[in-house]
Every structure is written in structure tokens, then in C-alpha cells.
């Protein structure tokens, strides 16, 4: 088994970053504990403001990326799929143009068929964009969005 020097350097650098991150996190927690201990030794008691200053509450957890949306947003979904389908149609038409430009005389039927399919895909993409105009916008964005 042969390991290149570059791969070994990558794994060593990754290990160094992970170990240093863990060390600094451990050190930060230790300093917080020492600060709390010194506050108790100095005053003999703790009040809530001192604890919140030393140990701020954690931020709220963000919503999961793949979870369901807070409200249905069919308009955005239709626009995304419309963009994807129109991009596919443009790509298929450009491939057909390239094949026509290089003179693919034997594949004339394939070129014509790809032009037909690209036109059909373009119509579907435009239809998705038009359908997005008729979908009700989400409740929170009705005041902001006019399109």
C-alpha cells in the first residue's frame, strides 16, 4: 500500500486542526469555570447577571435544512423547477445546434428530434413559470411580494 506524501500531509493537517480546535474549546471552558470560581471566592455568592455574563445562553437551534418548510411555498418550487426545465431545454437546443453546425448529415433525424424535444421542454418550463403566478404566496410574504 503506497500513500503519497500529499495525502499524508492532508491527514496530518486535518488532525492538527481538529486537535487544536478541541484544545482551545477545552481551554475556554476551563477559563470560564475558573472565572466563576473566583467570583464565588471574592463575593461569596452568585447573582444571575454574573452567571449570564460568564455563561451566555446558547443560541436557538436553526431549523433543519431538509425539514418541512414553516409554510407551504409552492410558488418558489414552481419557479425552481421552471428554471431547471428551461435550462435543460436550452442545453438540448445548443447540442442540436452544434450537431447541425458540424454537419452531422447522418444524424439529421436525431437533430430534428432534439429540436422538437427542446421546444417541448421550453413550453413546459414556461408553463411552470406561468403556473407560479397563480399560486397563492405564503402568508408572511403577501405584503412584500407583488409578483
Q: Tens digits of per-residue pLDDT, 75-122?
A: 888 999 999 999 999 999 999 888 888 876 677 888 889 999 999 999
pLDDT at position 140, please?
62
Average pLDDT of the segment spanning 4-19:
91
Structure confidence at residue 130 as a pLDDT band (50, 70, 90): very high
Closest Cα partner for 93 from 110, 71, 115, 111?
115
3-class DSSP assignment, residue 105? coil
Q: Is the pTM of this model over 0.85?
A: no
**Domain boundaries of the chain, sorted by first residue:** 5-54, 74-141
Amino acid at each position: 500500500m503506497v500513500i503519497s506524501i500529499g495525502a499524508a500531509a492532508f491527514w496530518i493537517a486535518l488532525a492538527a486542526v481538529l486537535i487544536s480546535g478541541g484544545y482551545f474549546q477545552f481551554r475556554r471552558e476551563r477559563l470560564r469555570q475558573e472565572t466563576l470560581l473566583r467570583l464565588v471566592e471574592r463575593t461569596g455568592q452568585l447573582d444571575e447577571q454574573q452567571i449570564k455574563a460568564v455563561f451566555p445562553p446558547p443560541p436557538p437551534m436553526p431549523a433543519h435544512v431538509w425539514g418541512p418548510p414553516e409554510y407551504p411555498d409552492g410558488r418558489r418550487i414552481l419557479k425552481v423547477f421552471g428554471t431547471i426545465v428551461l435550462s435543460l431545454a436550452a442545453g438540448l437546443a445548443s447540442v442540436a445546434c452544434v450537431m447541425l453546425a458540424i454537419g452531422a448529415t447522418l444524424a439529421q433525424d436525431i437533430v430534428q428530434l432534439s429540436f422538437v424535444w427542446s421546444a417541448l421542454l421550453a413550453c413546459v418550463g414556461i408553463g411552470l413559470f406561468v403556473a407560479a403566478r397563480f399560486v397563492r404566496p405564503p402568508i408572511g410574504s403577501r405584503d412584500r411580494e407583488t409578483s
